[in-house]
Amino acid sequence: MSTEAATAPVTTLYELFLQVPDPRYARGIRHPMAALLTLAATAMLAGAKTLTDIAQFGLHRKKLRKAIGFKRGKSPCIGTFHYLFKALDAQKFEAALQQWLQLHHADKQGPLHIDGKTLRGSRRGEIPGVHLLAAYSQTLGTALTQMPVDAKTNEHKAALELLKLIPLKGTLVTGDAAFAQRDLSQQVVAGEGDYFLTVKDNQPALKQALLDAFEAPLSPCGESCAATESAHGYGT
């Protein structure tokens, strides 16, 4: 390994945000977008839940603002974040965050749980809610990646696409009965990962095969070993 490769600089979140297209008009821009997004992401990692929280977080951290690229002494207000996020490409923003997580924490992601949830508050009248499928890392306490589940497909099919976005080598993938499918299991194994999936009554043949595989073996007399041991007082 060369010295240059060993000391190669690590890609920062700020550098990844530089690749996100700026939706704002060039005229009237006061703060670099990458700095605003970095400040917002840092605030959210620190527990900020609202735009007010993000603005207050930046207001009291003058040294941080300077370090991440703010040129003006004035801290960005709530309105600045409001109009930015209103126009921002959410998928590009999430992609940058996911890329940063995978670059820095892929070796620490631990087991990944695949699960689908309908986004709270996204359902309005007859309009169905936005259904998202996520790969959640319990070790990191966050979703490494997520994607919407189209009404024309299902979580199983969406999971096949989701797994393509995740480094599977050495990773244990868990999920409920909806994901206990042969093609999904094969994809995990092909990526050098492992899977631990729930099997329920929706797949009666597979469930029975598993029950048969774990039944107590028969003794030479034709009785189960468990029954024989119990009759002779063994195994207690």
Q: Which residues contact 196 (CB under 8 A, 6 or more apart)?
A: 111, 172, 173, 174
CA-closest candidate to residue 67, choices 35, 115, 99, 22: 35
Return the pLDDT at 222: 56
Whether residue 189 sits in one domain with residue 139: yes
**Does 212 fall in a domain?**
no
Instruction: For residues 96 and 189, give the distance between their C-alpha atoms in angstroms, rounded to a whole number.
Output: 27
Q: Which residues contact 98 (CB under 8 A, 6 or more apart)?
A: 144, 145, 165
Q: Given the structure tokens 């040129």, which residue do they identify?
A: 71
Looking at the chain, which runs of residues are DSSP E strands? 112-118, 131-137, 142-148, 172-175, 194-197
Return the pLDDT at 218: 60
Return the pLDDT at 82: 94
Backbone φ, ψ for residue 153 (5° rounding): -130, -160
**Does 208 fall in a domain?**
no
The domain boundary, picked from 81, 101, 121, lies at 101
Domain count of the chain?
2
Whether residue 96 sits in one domain with residue 47: yes
Instruction: For residues 47 and 43, give the distance between their C-alpha atoms in angstroms, rounded to a whole number.
Output: 6
Return the pLDDT at 206: 87
Instruction: For residues 117 and 96, give the distance between their C-alpha atoms in angstroms, rounded to a whole number.
Output: 22
Whether residue 58 sits in one domain with residue 34: yes
Print burial letters for 220-234: b (CB count within 10 Å at least 16), e (below 16). Answer: eeeeeeeebeeeeee
**Does 203 fall in a domain?**
no
**Does 223 fall in a domain?**
no
**Does 218 fall in a domain?**
no
The domain boundary, picked from 101, 133, 158, lies at 101
Instruction: Give the pLDDT confidence of 58-96 residue by residue, as tens digits.
Output: 998 999 999 998 987 789 999 999 999 999 998 888 888
Q: What's 185's domain CATH number?
A: 3.30.420.10
Whether residue 118 sits in one domain with residue 61: no
Return the pLDDT at 90: 85
Whether residue 190 sits in one domain with residue 116: yes
Q: Given the structure tokens 């209103």, which residue do they identify?
A: 86
Whether residue 113 sits in one domain with residue 97: no
Print burial letters for 10-47: b (CB count within 10 Å at least 16), e (below 16). Answer: eeebbebbbebebebeeeeeebbbbbbbbbbbbbeeee
Whether residue 80 sits in one domain with residue 8: yes
**Does 30 fall in a domain?**
yes
Whether residue 92 sits in one domain with residue 169: no
Return the pLDDT at 143: 77
Return the pLDDT at 217: 64
Instruction: For residues 5 and 140, give the distance between their C-alpha atoms in angstroms, rounded to a whole number.
Output: 27
- pLDDT, mean of each 10-residue run, the chain (236 residues): 49 89 86 93 89 93 90 88 92 82 67 82 64 82 78 83 85 90 93 91 87 73 54 46
The count of residues in the chain is 236
Range of the domain at 159: 109-198
Whether residue 95 sits in one domain with residue 18: yes
Whether residue 61 sits in one domain with residue 16: yes
Residue 158, both tokens: 């969406």
The domain boundary, picked from 101, 125, 153, lies at 101
Instruction: For residues 194 and 182, give the distance between their C-alpha atoms in angstroms, rounded to a whole number.
Output: 13
Instruction: For residues 46 and 23, give the distance between their C-alpha atoms in angstroms, rounded to a whole number.
Output: 26
